[in-house]
Amino acid sequence: MNTSRNERLFHFIGESPTAFHAVENARRMLLDSGYTELSEQDVWELSAGGKYFTTRNHTSIAAFRIPKESYTHFQIIASHSDSPSFKIKDGGVITVENRYAKLNVERYGGMIASSWFDRPLSIAGRALVRTENGVRERLVNIARDLAVIPNLAVHFNREINNGYAYNFSKDLPVLFADCRRENPLRSLVCEELAVSPDDLLDMDLFLYCRQPGTQIGADGEFILCPRLDDLQCAFSSLEGFLSSETSRSTVQMAVIFDNEEVGSQTRQGALSTFLKDCIERIRDCSGKSVQEHLAALAKSFLLSADNGHAVHPNHPEKSDVTNRPYVNGGVILKYNATQKYTTDSFTASVVKELCRRNEIPCQTFSNRPDIAGGSTLGNLSTSQVSVPTADIGLAQLAMHSACETGGAEDTESLCRLMTAFYDTDICLLPGGFTFA
């Protein structure tokens, strides 16, 4: 197993407590690799062989390489930057009996609530700050053990082990101070940013789990880490993108969207025009006609990368009878007849052939027929940019827990697939495909 790859994954996730930070880390990786940052507010000028990226809301990012020759098609990998968490409400400090200060929070995404109790937590996000040069965005990460959601003692809730319906208003507010500090949340953020309280205009702040990623198991065969869904795929897409070569005739893109966990219906989500806008700007800078561009899109391919469910060791009956992916079983192809996953026999064959040629293990996932699955990016992004798409990911346990479990060998498998995807010219034909 590739320990160094997992160590890089743990570092990336540890430095990415929120979507804002995940995109900032991606941004730094791209700048360090010689990519040019573009603003959506500017008119773009792109050069053959150029390497570029742009962001939207500092929570979504699109990186792309212009081929050395006139482009024939696009090859795109999409993942997402957000994970289930708790967002701190505006004015979100509640005092209790003039002794405790707790944070008033609301759910972001469908987390496993019980997994957030009695863990060291902290606060991260962004703040808008008044400066001499106008209002500016600043990232916030109070990088120390700061807060906790304390369980009620079993003596006061003797039915807790028989199942408990959490009241998110009553049970989930977060203890983070006593009442000696005035306005503790605002003052902590001001201290972190070294700004005056009068200059702090507003904030988007989230809780995050402070537990670092680690390898566990008798031989280190598993990984345990917060936010594997979906930063494991985002990290792997960047690793594959940055380790591959510029194509002669293919526009290669790596896109990380925000807000997948809450439906993607935002200006930076997969249902937004973000990917479409980038592609249309590339077309405009390349001098392609609409007809030429539409023909190129019809020959393009997208991998929607989002993790899926492994067979659970305590509940194997929850998995489908024949589609039973396991951690350390390699890349998963995700199928769904109602098209929550876009994979079909054509797009699956492209992925399977890439895996076969590069000796990458591959397995399949489909929900048990009587258990509804979650949503992902593929069918949403293709509503804006209609290209053949396969939904892929890695098998994991405890999805949407504050800490999730995966296979120590699987990150390497996904990185290898993504590198092969970019290094292979996928030539779609009517009713088939070839690799160049």
Q: What domains can be seen in the chain, in order of their start residue?
A: 3-83+226-435 (3.40.630.10), 85-209 (2.30.250.10)
Does pLDDT of 256 surpass 80? yes
**Residues near 122 by beta carbon (within 8 Å), at least 6 away in sequence:** 17, 141, 142, 143, 144, 145, 146, 147, 207, 208, 210
Q: What tens digit of pLDDT does each residue of 47-103 get?
A: 999 999 999 999 999 999 999 999 999 999 999 999 999 999 988 799 999 999 999
Is residue 398 left, alpha or beta, with left meaning phi > 0 and alpha meaning psi from -120 to 50?
Answer: left
The predicted model scores a pTM of 0.96
The residue behind tokens 């991260």 is 124
The predicted-structure confidence for 93-121, as pLDDT tens digits, reads as follows: 999 999 999 999 999 999 999 999 999 99
Q: Is 47 within 8 Å of 273 (Cβ atoms)? A: no
**pLDDT above 90 for 267:** yes
How far apart, in Å, do the first and last CA atoms of the chain sit?
Answer: 30
The pairing of strands 51-56 and 36-38 is: parallel
pLDDT at 1 over 70: no
* Digit-coded pLDDT (tens) for 16-35: 999 999 999 999 999 999 99
Average pLDDT over residues 141-153: 96
CA distance 37 to 55: 8
Helix, strand, coil % over all residues of the chain, rounded to 5: 30, 30, 40
Contact 310, 395 (CB under 8 A): yes
pLDDT at res. 435: 95
Alpha-carbon distance of 98 to 91, in angstroms, equals: 17
**Average pLDDT of 219-236?**
97
Name residue 315's amino acid. Answer: H
- Three-class SS of residue 270? coil
With bands split at pLDDT 50, 70 and 90, how would you rate the model's confidence at 249?
Answer: very high
Q: How far apart are CA 237 and CA 29, in angstroms?
A: 12
Share of the chain above pLDDT 90, in %: 89
pLDDT at residue number 183: 87
What is the number of alpha carbons within 13 Å of residue 57 lying toward its C-beta? Answer: 18
Q: If you average pLDDT over every residue of the chain, what do you get?
A: 95
Amino acid making up residue 148: V
Rounded CA separation 358/351 (Å) = 11
- CB-based contact 120:148 (threshold 8 Å): yes
Say if residue 145 is preceded by a cis peptide, omega within 30 of 0.
Answer: no
What share of the chain in percent tops pLDDT 70?
100
Per-residue model confidence (pLDDT) at position 377: 85
- On whether the CB atoms of residues 370 and 59 are closer than 8 A, the answer is no
Long-range contacts of 423-428 (CB under 8 A, 24+ apart): 423/244, 423/245, 424/354, 425/247, 425/248, 425/249, 425/250, 426/73, 426/75, 426/301, 426/350, 427/299, 428/73, 428/298, 428/299, 428/300, 428/301, 428/388
pLDDT tens profile 343-402? 999 999 999 999 999 999 999 999 998 888 777 888 888 889 999 999 999 999 999 999
Residue 182: CB atoms within 10 A of its CB come to 8
